[in-house]
Chains A and B, each alone.
Chain A
Amino acid sequence: MTLSSRIIVGFPVPGKDADPRTIVAAARDAAEAVAEGFGALLLPELLPGVDSTTPGLDPSILAGLLSAYDTAPRIIVEARTSRHAPFNLARRTQTLNRLSGGRVGLFLRDTGVDPVTAASGTVQEHAGLSTEYAEVLERLWSSFPEDALIGDREAGRLADPARLVPPSFVGDVYSVAGALNVPLPPEHRAVVLTEDSGSIRGFRAVTWTPNGTGGPGQLSGDPARVAAALQEGTTTAGWLLRVDVPAGQLTGKLWELGAALGGAEASNDGTIREWLSEITDGATNQDFNSRELHAHAR
């Protein structure tokens, strides 16, 4: 596994004057650059009026759009627990994996209970919320195996309900019956990546400021220096690289950095699960996930 393959590239906050058309064009270009030279593209969830003074786009909408293009990278969609009821988020992610053939993962940020869940009136407990949220997601994603679809025209049986695995989940916070209504083969399911001190757990965050002097945790200067720093640093699984430039300039910087990393190509083949398994040195996705979730719970 090359170093490039271990780098998740964060899509930048839109620039001051960015309109949706500019963001989409920049995302398409960034997607191509990541597909050809890096591990995955992180699409951030920017809250209107909070994270940015300019309007952003919901990352699942952007991911749906990017799935249409021939050169699409693996994508990690960021989502905050306070914005989405688990059933809705599970369904959108599962749909993205149906469209992309299992190329989408989820970066789940623990920000509290969402309004729809809160309105059910049964929610009190907040500790360990994202652990429980992730468990609901995993169970929903595996609740409608693809092979439950039969399509037996002659017998008049479309699906075999006995093969569904409804979670019937009742936890401290969430209560979700299921099953999900989006079928998927097991190998195409998403992975949940969780948060750790401003980064994705296992991925060390670094910000490259090509035009700045660089502060704590930042790398400044030319691509060769950045490449050297990444090669010398140690991480569990890899890097979460943010580049402090307007979205429209990201692609150029990625090509420069890719060249500085020796032009080593990152393989764009395989699902998000396969990729994560490879860069965590053979640990299965489930192991990685369980370990991370367990660590998070502690």
Chain B
Amino acid sequence: MSQLHINVNILNAGVFGGSWRVPENHPLSAYTLEHYVGIAKKAEEAKLDAVFLADSPVIEADIEHRPGNSFEPSVLLSRIAAETSSIGLIGTFSSSYNDADELAFRLAGLDAISGGRFGWNVVTTAGSAAAANFGRGSEPDHGGRYQRASEVTGQVVAAWAAGPDGGLPSSPQGRPVVVQAGASRSGIRLAGEHAEVIFTAAQTLDEALAFREAINQQAAEFGRRPEEIAILPGLSTVVGSTEAEAQERRRQLAGLVPLPYAIARLGGQLGIDLNGVDLDSPVDRQGLPEEEAAAGSKTFYRMVLGIIEREKPTYRQLLHKLGGGAGHRIVVGTPEQIADDIEHWFKAGAADGFNVMPDALPSGFDHFADQVVPELQRRGLFRTDYTGTTLRDHLGLPLQPLGTGVSAELVGAVSQGGAS
């Protein structure tokens, strides 16, 4: 992999809690079709690998203060497929709340009609609110969710590999690409078993390198080739024509986060009630549970703990640092500075590329595509045109052997068949 891989994560109105309030975008843009189609077309012009849609089958509790996931991703991506020709299409689908047979069939159709541009981001879907939409009084426990994820992913991938023999359309890319996010121990195990692309969160280069090592070991245990797994950390971008301008935009975005939302969200991430807490007092590290005891997303909890231990912030400083965002690393600067950061991580082996999460959408992605991408291309780090037609082509990922139980000879035959 000699060049970067870049996806744009169309995180509705943008990564921060107040992204939807920036003056240059319509506040309800994320509820329009044009928003998603427009960004996908722009991403295709910029020769990105893929658009990425996060998802959860639930209405978010914080909808009063920020946009949530809305359009169902398989339907939205089929519409985007009709309006684009090259850009990869990665959608998130829950392994807990979909049936493997139905999901394999539906997504194989999406892959087929798009000419082999589809990737499935496997998530287990945390939270009791989603569970209550599917007849459950509470969510399955973390271990149970991941056990089902492993089984469901195995079934879906096996169905894709069988293709027409199992009544599914054949895939123009051999099989759709499997993407995974989530870096708990169970998440790393799932990634090692199935993932071809990993969307992760890392605040420091050392964290990212350690994560890659963990993935490599886990993949090897499943008999897979670690060098053919692309690790793409999330990267929140705030672009300015000068550093001062970028910093000013970052401050503006922090100020736009609705405070009730920010407090509730951080409280949820930390597992404590922050109502009534003095926001200007230091975060009480001793009062927080250890990572494995925390509820909710362990990946983000670990990252927030890391910030608390390194920087010893007040609650308000921590709120500002997170920006009401998802806890991904934020880079703020000129196009050259952001390209420097990306190049540094890439050359250090900490990332094969990034899942870019612009500060506000669509405007922040325009900044990235118009200013940062050309700088990366000028440095020879990013393609100036597509060399293939499928998502697998863009990512440079050959078909890897199916999980244990499939012989190397058979897999070789499948792989060659898929490439023809």
Contacts and interface: CB of A to CB of B under 8 A. Distances in A.
A83 interface: yes
B167 A49 contact: yes
Residue from A60, A99, A156 with most neighbouring chain B CB atoms (10 Å): A156
Interface string A151-177: 111001111110010000000001111
Nearest to A57: B109
B65 A88 contact: no
Contacts of A160: 64
A176 B169 contact: no
A87 B133 contact: yes
Contact of B97 (A19, A116, A122, A152): A116
B59 A24 contact: no
Contacts of B256: 156
B58 interface: yes
Nearest to A168: B132
Contacts of B129: 177
B323 interface: no
A92 B109 CA distance: 15
A96 interface: yes
B244 interface: no
Nearest to A94: B72
A65 B64 contact: no
Interface residues of B, number: 59
Contacts of A20: 109, 112-113, 169
Given A20-B113, A24-B113, A92 B74 contact: yes
Contact of B113 (A61, A115, A158, A178): A61
Chain A: interface size category:
35 or more
Interface string B38-59: 0000000000000000000111
Nearest to B111: A20
Given A156-B21, A178-B59, A61 B106 contact: yes
A10 interface: no
Nearest to B171: A20
B134 A99 contact: no
A116 B133 CA distance: 11
Contacts of B276: none
Contacts of B83: 68
Interface in B103-123: 105-106, 108-110, 112-113
A85 B134 CA distance: 7
B68 interface: yes
B164 interface: yes
A11 B166 CA distance: 22
A49 B75 contact: no
A156 B99 contact: no
B262 to A, nearest CB: 11
B76 A64 contact: yes
B64 to A, nearest CB: 5
A83 B76 contact: no
Interface in A82-102: 83-85, 87-88, 91-92, 94-96, 98-99
Interface in B127-164: 129, 132-136, 163-164
A158 B20 contact: yes
Nearest to B78: A64
Most buried by B among A47, A50, A65, A116: A65
B325 interface: no
A203 B133 CA distance: 33
Given A87-B134, A158-B67, A55 B170 contact: yes
Nearest to B260: A156
A159 B135 contact: no
Nearest to B32: A98
A249 interface: no
A178 B133 contact: yes
Given A92-B75, A152-B27, A114 B70 contact: no
Contact of A49 (B21, B68, B69, B166): B166
B413 interface: no
Interface string A28-52: 0000000000000000000111101
Contacts of A149: 28, 31
B168 interface: yes
B321 interface: no
Nearest to A146: B31
Given A48-B105, A99-B33, A161-B63, A88 B170 contact: no
B71 A95 contact: yes
B82 to A, nearest CB: 4
Contact of A92 (B69, B72, B97, B168): B72
Interface stretch (A180-188, A229-237, A282-290): A180-188
Nearest to B56: A181
Given A65-B113, A123-B135, A160-B64, A88 B98 contact: yes
B168 A48 contact: yes
B258 interface: yes
Given A49-B167, A181-B70, A61 B64 contact: no
Given A64-B75, A68-B79, A117-B134, A83 B59 contact: no
Contact of B135 (A68, A69, A95, A174): A174
Nearest to A69: B82
Given A83-B102, A88-B97, A149-B28, A159 B75 contact: no
20 contacts: A19-B170, A48-B101, A48-B167, A61-B75, A61-B106, A61-B110, A61-B113, A64-B77, A65-B78, A65-B113, A85-B97, A95-B76, A96-B75, A99-B79, A153-B21, A156-B21, A158-B28, A161-B64, A177-B129, A181-B58
Given A88-B98, A181-B70, 10 more contacts: A47-B167, A61-B78, A64-B75, A88-B57, A88-B72, A116-B98, A158-B28, A158-B66, A174-B135, A181-B57
Identify the 10 closest CB pairs spanning chains A and B, nearest first: A48-B167, A120-B135, A64-B78, A68-B82, A20-B112, A151-B27, A49-B167, A177-B132, A156-B258, A57-B109
